[in-house]
Structure 1
Amino acid sequence: MNNSVDSLWHYYQQTEFLFTQILSTQLSFAIITAYNPKGEVLSAPQNGLLDRKLQHEINRLGLPYRSMVGASQDRSHMEKSWAIATDKASAIKLGCLFNQNAIYYVEADNLQLVPCLMAQEETLLGAFSPRVNRVLELPDIE
């Protein structure tokens, strides 16, 4: 994967989302991962440790959440992520805490790509629900 800022921003705009349970289109929530901070691809154990730290932080903050996966359209790249019921400003802080280039924010079924560490403009990506794929189980990510 080419990790230039423009390439990463383009890849982020193509993401699809795997859920075991469909969320209401009326909800507002953030989608945040701890995987691959600053776009640097880490090993499965490193990403797993960061993911557990993020889940611990979400629990510490007392925020409702749901486990899910962000994936490229061809599923060649997947990252364990969390749909978190929080406001956008708090979500950006959490993304920055875990060195994420960007997060997603969903409001009234509108998907936004929101920069954290990148100097990009927030990008409206259209309806969220067509990007959601319901799965029986989340895939194991290596």
Structure 2
Amino acid sequence: MNNSIDSLWHHYSETRFLLTQSLSCQLSFAIISAHNPLGTLLTPCQNRLLDRQLQSEIEKLHRPYRALVGAAADLTHMEKSWAVFIDRELAVELGRRFNQNAIYYVEQGRLSLLPCIAARDELKLGSFTERVKLVTELPELNG
């Protein structure tokens, strides 16, 4: 994957989400990953370590959260992520702590791409549910 910010932003804007259960779009929540900081592809082992660190930080917030996978539309690239029921500001700060260019945020069923480190404007992406695929279990990630 070309990691220029323009290319990454385009890929981020096309992301789909794999979930094992529906999430209420009546609630606001962030979607955050710790994988591949600053768009740099890491090994599966490095990504798993960062993911465990992110989950630990999320648990300290004492807010509901759920695992999910953010994926390219063709499923050629997938990243373990977390839906976290926190406000936008805290979500962006958490994304920054894990060196993420951006995070997603869902409000009233509408998905937005929020910059954390990338010098970009918020990008409104439309309906969250149109990007969701319910699966019986999340895929094992090797990258």
* Common fold by TM > 0.5: yes
Q: What is the identity, as a one-letter code, of the residue corresponding to 2:80? A: K
Give the Å deviation of 1:98.
0.4
Query: Which sits farther off after the overlay, 31-40 or 56-65?
Result: 56-65
1:1-142 alignment to 2 at 5 Å?
1-142=1-142
Give the Å deviation of 1:42.
0.1
Q: What is the identity, as a one-letter code, of the residue corresponding to 1:7? A: S
The runs of at least 4 aligned residues of structure 1 exceeding 2 Å deviation read: none
Give the Å deviation of 1:99.
0.3
Q: What is the identity, as a one-letter code, of the residue corresponding to 2:36? A: N
Q: How many residue pairs were aligned?
A: 142
Q: Which runs of 5+ in 1 are unaligned?
A: none
Give the Å deviation of 1:135.
0.2
> CA separation in 2, counterparts of 1:14 and 1:43?
23
The superposition leaves residues 46-67 of structure 1 with CA deviations (integer Å, 9 ceiling, x where unpaired) of: 0000000000000112121000
Provide the identity percentage.
Answer: 58
| C-alpha RMSD of the superposition | 0.5
Q: What is the identity, as a one-letter code, of the residue corresponding to 1:128? A: F
Q: Which runs of 5+ in 2 are unaligned?
A: none
Q: What is the identity, as a one-letter code, of the residue corresponding to 2:119? A: A
* Secondary structure of the structure 2 residue equivalent to 1:92: helix
> TM-score, normalised on structure 1?
0.99
The superposition leaves residues 29-57 of structure 1 with CA deviations (integer Å, 9 ceiling, x where unpaired) of: 00000000000000000000000000000
